[in-house]
Amino acid sequence: MMRSALAAAAALLAACAQAPTTPGKQTGAEILAATTPSDWRTPDPDNTLYLELATGRVVIELAPAFAPNHVANIKTLVREKYFDGLAIVRAQDNYVVQWADPAEDDAKKKPLGSALSTLPGEFAHADDLPFVALPDRDVYAPETGFSQGFPAARDASAGKMWLTHCYGMVGVGRDNAPDSGGGKELYVVIGHAPRHLDRNVTLVGRVIKGIGLLSTLPRGTGALGFYANPAQYTPIKSIRLAADVAESERTPIELLRTDTLTFASYVESRRYRREEWFIDPVGHVEVCNVPLPARTPAK
Amino acid sequence: MMRSALAAAAALLAACAQAPTTPGKQTGAEILAATTPSDWRTPDPDNTLYLELATGRVVIELAPAFAPNHVANIKTLVREKYFDGLAIVRAQDNYVVQWADPAEDDAKKKPLGSALSTLPGEFAHADDLPFVALPDRDVYAPETGFSQGFPAARDASAGKMWLTHCYGMVGVGRDNAPDSGGGKELYVVIGHAPRHLDRNVTLVGRVIKGIGLLSTLPRGTGALGFYANPAQYTPIKSIRLAADVAESERTPIELLRTDTLTFASYVESRRYRREEWFIDPVGHVEVCNVPLPARTPAK
């Protein structure tokens, strides 16, 4: 899609978002079946991570527009192979899994190389990124919607926008100080959206494939779901940037764009449920209840 | 607590719920550490189920006030050992696990005994059960809150209240007809709250212990997370009513009451986060983001 056409679509979408919601006639499955190639995008290999476990690959799309410093630092950590041989050390039911250097607190801890250990938090961004608003109210934010393929929220009066803690979002663990995280320890949401974390912690991306490899991990029995016994850790074989992996070994994936009229219709199909099963078509939708469709492209 | 004291507390709570929210000073952990025995309740053994798997026991508290006919039918199924030897046949990531008779569609299906195969849906209840409202807005309902230990919602203008699909809630699978469920197939929410199911399906209870045994099951690879291969099923050893299990073999558990001033303070501690870690104390809370505390009673 050319930029001018995209701008026109964005303007139209913005108008839609202002207008009263009108029930669509189609189901989500019908809308997805009728998409055209321009409704889909391929995530940038230079902002896509492959987390390799013995059980398979977890694919993460990074969000450099929202957290440029943390994403850059994580990419440095990845390129210098910092994560290789570390482990998933925490799995708290209905909350998060988290990985880190198990030796972080002792002399054997892995050296950081040229990456920074900590960074100032990137908890919110200026309200200057693309945003397609949902008409629905939200519990936590004045507005919610989507920005560049990610679930997001906005407070226009404060001039701020931020990513939201929906299922599958990837964030930066930190200690109490707001500048104590840097990307060495990352977590993934595997339960009900902990939206109270929004604006309290830096989100850097979203799992776009393979989250089942994380969400089914045995839960840790220590405080906060940390594993009580190192034998329970899940080793990380490696984390690689897709751009650094041979094309033949990359995971082909396409994601539904969130800045198109097709996506607006898809959201409507989640708001007004047209599947025969529904007795009450609902008429509302929460930002974390809009699954963001992914597909394997045809060869 | 005597009934009159309880009524006074309920009146006070109702007043609190109307008043502007004022930030508390304590963390949730501090409030829980200061509870007294009357803040806790023991679930009724006659409305508590033990789902026995090879990996352990899942404890479910039933909600007869909201779904009396379904709960009665499920108790008949349990007492006649209908579920024994059936299996978990579905695990859909970020959604539900579900159990059923794997032979439901063929001649070897298990006979129902004296239970009913189907019942009219109990999707909502008259607005005449106890309800402690949250002051927060909600995406899906005019009001949300808690009723008798369960997360719930209310539409006072329609004279209705209903249980909400939060993590761990247990519901009755059905086909397209609203009266096609009866309790033979039950599901448990293991992901982000699918609140669009509220008022579309009958909820009958909540997992109060052992949900990790369900949430970590391998995900099914068939449509809707059904297992493609019966070898992937998780067999159900039995489902028993706690009242039918020898006292020495019951799971001791206490749940924080939701109709006390202590609970109101606890909810405030989830709304205004006082833990040192929080930069932004949030100031909002969603009904499905209030974990309902359980504990093992002292001997």
Write down the ipTM of this complex. Answer: 0.93
Contact B276 A167 (CB under 8 A): no
What pLDDT score does A51 carry? 99
For the stretch B255-295, pLDDT in tens is 999 999 999 999 999 999 999 999 999 999 999 999 999 99
Contact A137 B140 (CB under 8 A): no
Interface residues of B toward A, Cβ cutoff 8 Å, are 93-94, 121, 123, 136-140, 166-168, 175-176, 178, 191-196, 199-200, 211-212, 215-219, 270, 273, 276-280, 282, 284-286, 288-289, 291
| Percent of chain A at pLDDT exceeding 90 | 90
For the stretch A165-210, pLDDT in tens is 999 999 999 999 999 999 999 999 999 999 999 999 999 999 999 9
pLDDT bracket for residue B3 (50, 70, 90): very low
What pLDDT score does A94 carry? 98
Displacement of CA B209 from its chain's centroid (Å): 11
Instruction: Enumerate the residues of chain B whose CB falls inside 8 A of the CB of residue A193.
Output: 192, 289
For the stretch A237-279, pLDDT in tens is 999 999 999 999 999 999 999 999 999 999 999 999 999 999 9
Paired with B40 in beta bridges are B256
Compute the distance between CA of residue B121 and CA of residue B199 in angstroms, rounded to an integer: 9
Tokens (6 digits) for B91: 């695990």
Section A222-226 average pLDDT? 97
Residue B154 within a domain: yes
Compute the distance between CA of residue A219 and CA of residue A284 in angstroms, rounded to an integer: 33
Is pLDDT of B8 > 70? no
Is pLDDT of B2 > 50? no
- Calculate how close chain A gets to B48, using CA atoms only, in Å: 22
Compute the distance between CA of residue A80 and CA of residue A115 in angstroms, rounded to an integer: 9
* Candidates B194, B195, B212; nearest CB to A219: B212
Residue A298 within a domain: no
Is pLDDT of B71 > 50? yes
Asked if residue B109 lies in contact with residue B101, where contact means CB atoms within 8 angstroms, the answer is yes
Question: In sequence order, which residues have a C-beta less than 8 Å from that of residue A113 and are 6 or more positions away?
Answer: A76, A77, A80, A82
- SS3 category, A241: strand
Q: Which of B55, B110, B60 is nearest to B86 (CA)?
A: B110
What pLDDT score does A136 carry? 97
Question: In sequence order, which residues have a C-beta less than 8 Å from that of residue B283 and are 6 or more positions away?
Answer: B21, B23, B271, B272
Residue B93: CB atoms within 10 A of its CB come to 20
pLDDT bracket for residue A8 (50, 70, 90): very low
Contact A200 B278 (CB under 8 A): yes
Residue B13 within a domain: no
- Calculate how close chain A gets to B286, using CA atoms only, in Å: 6
The DSSP string of chain B is --HHHHHHHHHHHHHHHHSPP---SS-HHHHHHT--GGGEEPPPGGGEEEEEETTEEEEEEE-TTT-HHHHHHHHHHHHTT-STT-EEEEE-TTSEEEEE-TTTTSTTPPP-TTS-S-B-----EES-S--EE-SS--SSSSEEEEETTEEEEEEGGGTEEEE---TTEEEE---SSTT-B-SSSEEEE-SS--GGGTTTS-EEEEEEE-THHHHTSPPP-SGGGB-SSGGG-EE--EEEEGGGS-GGGS---EEE-SSSHHHHHHHHHHHB--STT-SS-B----GGGS---EEPPP-
Instruction: Enumerate the residues of chain B whose CB falls inside 8 A of the CB of residue A175.
Output: 277
Contact B192 A193 (CB under 8 A): yes
Is pLDDT of B19 > 50? no
Asked if residue A82 lies in contact with residue A184, where contact means CB atoms within 8 angstroms, the answer is yes
Residue B11 within a domain: no
What pLDDT score does B18 carry? 38
Compute the distance between CA of residue A258 and CA of residue A224 in angstroms, rounded to an integer: 34
Compute the distance between CA of residue B259 and CA of residue B38 in angstroms, rounded to an integer: 11
pLDDT bracket for residue B23 (50, 70, 90): low
- Calculate how close chain B gets to A251, using CA atoms only, in Å: 18
pLDDT bracket for residue A219 (50, 70, 90): very high
Higher pLDDT, A2 or B186: B186
What pLDDT score does A17 carry? 45
Q: For tokens 């945003």, what's the residue? A: A131
Asked if residue B153 lies in contact with residue B143, where contact means CB atoms within 8 angstroms, the answer is yes
What pLDDT score does A23 carry? 61
- Calculate how close chain B gets to A5, using CA atoms only, in Å: 33
pLDDT bracket for residue B21 (50, 70, 90): very low
Compute the distance between CA of residue B140 and CA of residue A185 in angstroms, rounded to an integer: 35
Residue A226 within a domain: yes
> What mean pLDDT value characterizes chain A?
93
Tell me the C-alpha to C-alpha distance, in Å, between residue B201 and each of B69, B97, B122, B140, B151: 14, 15, 7, 15, 15
Question: In sequence order, which residues have a C-beta less than 8 Å from that of residue A239 and are 6 or more positions away?
Answer: A49, A50, A51, A52, A78, A83, A84
Instruction: Enumerate the residues of chain A whose CB falls inside 8 A of the CB of residue B288.
Output: 192
Is pLDDT of A154 > 50? yes
Instruction: Give the lowest-confidence range in B7-16, B81-90, B161-170.
Output: B7-16
For the stretch A39-97, pLDDT in tens is 999 999 999 999 999 999 999 999 999 999 999 999 999 999 999 999 999 999 999 99
Instruction: Enumerate the residues of chain A whose CB falls inside 8 A of the CB of residue B173.
Output: none
Higher pLDDT, A4 or B94: B94
| Percent of chain B at pLDDT exceeding 70 | 92
Is pLDDT of B11 > 50? no
CATH of the domain at A188: 2.40.100.10
Residue A288 within a domain: no
Is pLDDT of B164 > 50? yes
What residues make up the domain containing A96? 45-252
Is pLDDT of A26 > 80? yes
**Within a 13 Å sphere around the CA of B134, how many CA atoms are in the beta-carbon half?**
27
Residue A8 within a domain: no
Our count of domains for chain A comes to 1
Is pLDDT of A22 > 90? no
pLDDT bracket for residue A299 (50, 70, 90): confident
Asked if residue B217 lies in contact with residue B236, where contact means CB atoms within 8 angstroms, the answer is no
pLDDT bracket for residue B9 (50, 70, 90): very low
Paired with A144 in beta bridges are A153
Is pLDDT of B12 > 50? no
Is pLDDT of B299 > 90? no
Section B83-107 average pLDDT? 96
Compute the distance between CA of residue B257 and CA of residue B38 in angstroms, rounded to an integer: 8
Q: Which residues of B5-17 are buried (b: 16+ CB within 10 A; e: fewer)?
A: eeeebbeebeebb
